[in-house]
Amino acid sequence: MFWKKKKDKDKSETWGKAARTGKWRSTKSLKDKLDRVFSMYIRLRDSKEFGFKYFRCISCGRVLPFEQADCGHYISRTNMALRFSEDNCSAQCRSCNRFKDGNILDYRQGLTRKIGEQRVTLLESRKHETKKWSNWELEQLIEYYSKETERLKKM
């Protein structure tokens, strides 16, 4: 099929150009990297009171080993404006994060205890906010949270 071949060719040319200009390293991989380092920072921050060995799930309140912590978002992580917000993220057990849809009602209670009603309401008011991160901003955040993570690990 002529059209299909042409399409494939176009794709590879785009890829080639992206590789040459370094653009392939762009937004998606930076977001992935920031997701990883930010998640580590949140889990370390929230296990500090337990000597980094345990954490308390923001939703169900169980204290579990650090290895079982997820970084759970209160407002869905699909909201890019709040994806890397410290108020919007907490250590959460896997069962609440992955199988109970974030256990969101209990999450709200736990978060209110943690940061107060006002800051929770403020997060909720930003629920429909949109944000397009520039690569530069993502790089700055990666650098910042990498340093913070290292600082906590040394404690």
What is the Cα–Cα distance from 106 to 122, expressed in whole angstroms? 18
Of 31 and 45, the one with the shorter C-beta distance to Zn ion is 45
- Which of these ranges, 15-23, 33-41, 52-60, 131-139, lies near Zn ion under the rule CB under 5 A? 52-60
CB of 96 to Zn ion, least distance (A): 3
- Of 12, 2, 86, 82, residue with least CA distance to 44: 86
Number of residues that bind Zn ion (CB under 5 A): 5
x/- string (CB under 5 A) for Zn ion, residues 87-126?
------x--x------------------------------
Q: 145 CB contacts (<8 Å, ≥6 apart)? A: 34, 37, 38, 40, 41
Compute CA distances 58 → 28, 42, 81, 152, whole Å. Answer: 28, 12, 21, 20
Q: 19 CB contacts (<8 Å, ≥6 apart)? A: none
Of 112 and 135, the one with the shorter C-beta distance to Zn ion is 112
CB of 46 to Zn ion, least distance (A): 12
Quote the distance between the C-alpha of residue 108 and its chain's center. 18
Site for Zn ion in 58-87 (CB under 5 A): 59-60
Residue of 34, 40, 42, 57 interacting with Zn ion (CB under 5 A): 57
- Which of these ranges, 27-35, 49-57, 80-88, 120-128, lies near Zn ion under the rule CB under 5 A? 49-57
Task: Please check whether residue 86 is in contact with residue 110, taking contact to mean a CB–CB distance below 8 angstroms.
Answer: no
Chain residues in the site for Zn ion (CB under 5 A): 57, 59-60, 93, 96
